[in-house]
Amino acid sequence: MDTPFGFKHSLDPDLFSLDRLDALVKRAPEGRFVAQLADSGRVRDGQHATYTKLEGSLPDDLARRGLHLHFDNLEEWAPEYVEASQGVLEQVRPHESETIHSPNIVIRVFSADAPAALHGDGNTQVNCGVGGRTLWHFGPPSNLSPLEIESLMRGGMFLGWRELSPVQTFDLAVGDACAAPPRWPHWLEHPGPEPAVSFELSYWTPATIRERKVYDVNWMLRRAKLAPQPPGGPRDGVKVRLFDLIGTATGKGRAHRA
């Protein structure tokens, strides 16, 4: 996948009704349901969210204040959503030339009119509209500096504002979906009057894992006051082996040793 694209999905909307999600809150293992205050604009003040507790039922609290709720790692504890994800992945696979690794499944719910600030992701993202309306605004990685790209997986997801150029916008109502490659910065709008619900998959391929390793080593080299080359250079193999050696020594990065 080289550029974002839109498509239609056939997910069952009943899986994502607010009442069903309210019941899902009670099933969620510790740490797998997160409530935070929605961003106040296109830029987040720092990298960290402002966390809160759900006050009353999920539908009532969404109507009362600006919230961003997410159910994380559903592949670990909610089999009905794993089953639902299979059809979406089948629609995406023709756009990938390599095997899809480690799909992560998340449901996000935003209060009506709550934005999501400009940020980027290190892996491929698939976004399905299953409630309300979401506008995704994407720009290519050329909008980011090398350090910003290297920092996406190092706690630097959220970005200072800049007008993305060129920009691709996907207006997702129920039944609409879009997918985007890694490192395409984006921000979101959720026009009312209803809360917006998204079913989101993220994943890696062998190529994006390799690129991630190179960017991660580049981040370390840049901290040492060096000027490393981006992926595609003659030293990529050395950087990949270095990442794997560090990961073996520290016990980290096991998910990216493919």
Give per-residue pLDDT as tens, 122-151. 999 999 999 999 999 999 999 999 999 999
What domains, with CATH codes, occur in the chain? 5-204 (2.60.120.650), 207-256 (no CATH)
How far from 9 is each of 5, 62, 80, 86, CA to CA, in Å? Answer: 13, 25, 16, 11
Tell me which DSSP letter residue 231 carries: T
- Which range is least confidently modeled, 111-115, 198-202, 226-230, 252-256? 252-256
Radius of gyration of the chain (CA): 19
Q: Which residues contact 58 (CB under 8 A, 6 or more apart)?
A: 18, 21, 22, 25, 69, 109
- Phi/psi of residue 59, each to 5°? -60, -40
Q: How far apart are CA 181 and CA 168, in angstroms?
A: 13
Instruction: Provide the pLDDT confidence category of residue 173 given band limits of 50, 70 and 90.
Output: very high
Name the pTM for this structure.
Answer: 0.93
CB 236 within 8 A of CB 214: yes
Instruction: List pLDDT tens digits, range 19-64.
Output: 999 999 999 999 999 999 999 999 999 999 999 999 999 999 999 9
CB 211 within 8 A of CB 205: no
User: DSSP 3-state assignment of 37?
Assistant: strand
pLDDT at 254 over 60: no
Residue with the bigger pLDDT between 102 and 184: it is 184
